[in-house]
Amino acid sequence: MERAVVAGVGMTRFGKHLDTGLKALGREAVLAALADAGIDKSALQAAFVGNAMAGLITGQECIRGQVVLRSAGIGAIPVVNVENACASASTALHQACAMVAAGVYDTVLALGVEKLYHPDKKRSFAAIGSAVDTEEIAKIMEALEQSAATQGATQAKSGAGQKRSMFMDFYAAAARRHMERYGTTARQFAAVAAKNAYHGSLNPHAQFQQALTVDEVLAAPMIAEPLTRPMCSPIGDGAAAAVIVSPSKARELGVPQPVTVDACILRSGWDHELDDEGTVELCVREAYEKAGIGPEDLDVIEAHDASAPAELMYYEEFGLCKPGEGGALIDSGATKIGGRIPVNPSGGLLRKGHPVGATGLAQITELVQQLRGQCGRRQVEGARVGMAQNGGGNIGTDAAAMCVTIVRV
């Protein structure tokens, strides 16, 4: 099959948009992507629209994509609504690329849009907490509390899902295991957050644009040991979109810097032992094989840093370093802009923000702009190959959905 091509991208600034609805956010991203691609909305043949939480936050169910696209003057075409937890937008991208690569369409829109802020924070946390097996919620909460008690994490012993997203407790438990096994330190996790804060300070679309030092990250309020507030991704509102075309359509349009999707791998979690290979390693390995590259060929990465420890552990799962060496890698400066393999030059979920249904396409927007050389002060010099990793939900000991995408110019 042919490779799909990203012809245009667009996104809103991520943040707290209490007075802006799904339609306005989605419309802004869609129109920006169309303008970037240099095409009219009438050229679109289909759309895949990712959203995870609208039903629980705004009450909009069933026809989310049709409602949002109508506000942009787009109708008649097939609209497929995609819900896949935090991987909703990357799943929409996966479907759009598959349809183009298969020759079903040659011009398709992929959109991710989300509103998570609500005057009642517990409603937002409850919505995020629905991305687990709700029939096992009591067992999940008991396991989290037991883990915290066993490891002496007093702050994490209560409040999951009430004072914070329960997913921070998943990440905190994984971080504590990594610390016990490999000697990783809280300061190394804080270094990830400080790096991404610096990157976010250079990104006008980031939710938070204030640089932070490692000491400032460590001095911030504790959320769930060892995670302080800057080590946790914030909730947010926002949208991101991409226009996906066939290579022949890209030539017809005269796309000046076509970005090819060399691989877009989507997998779901399954029952396996905690230390077995999981969705990240499986998707990354398949993506490398399909794209015909290895980790040494990557120039820039957008990773799903819903927490700072997650990014550090992904270094190992991506093959950037050996197991247990993620702490040393962050200490080396390799993953900062100017380093050997910059990770999350956008600021990542930690600083760019995490409107869950939009995140996957925001990562693609960043990578496309990086490969085109359009990122200004946060530009990764000479970037030609990029990888995005976007996961969502929880099943057993793994993510419920995982998508890894490799793009190149």
* CB 171, CB 311: distance < 8 Å: no
The one catalytic residue among 86, 232, 264, 403: 86
* CB 161, CB 125: distance < 8 Å: yes
* CB 250, CB 42: distance < 8 Å: no
The one catalytic residue among 94, 118, 304, 354: 354
* CB 189, CB 168: distance < 8 Å: no
Please confirm, yes or no, whether 97 is among the known catalytic residues: no
Structure tokens at 329: 């890698």
| C-alpha span between 66 and 49 (Å, rounded) | 9
Characterize 63-96 residue by residue with b for buried, 16 or more Cβ atoms within 10 angstroms of its Cβ, and e for exposed: ebbebbbeebebeebebebbbbbbbbbbbbbbbb
* CB 95, CB 83: distance < 8 Å: no
Please confirm, yes or no, whether 232 is among the known catalytic residues: no
Tell me the CA distances in angstroms from 102 to 4, 37, 105, 245, one per residue in order. 9, 21, 8, 11
Q: With 0-12 CB in 10 A as exposed, 13-18 as middle and 19+ as buried, what is 235? A: buried
Query: Active-site residue numbers?
Result: 86, 354
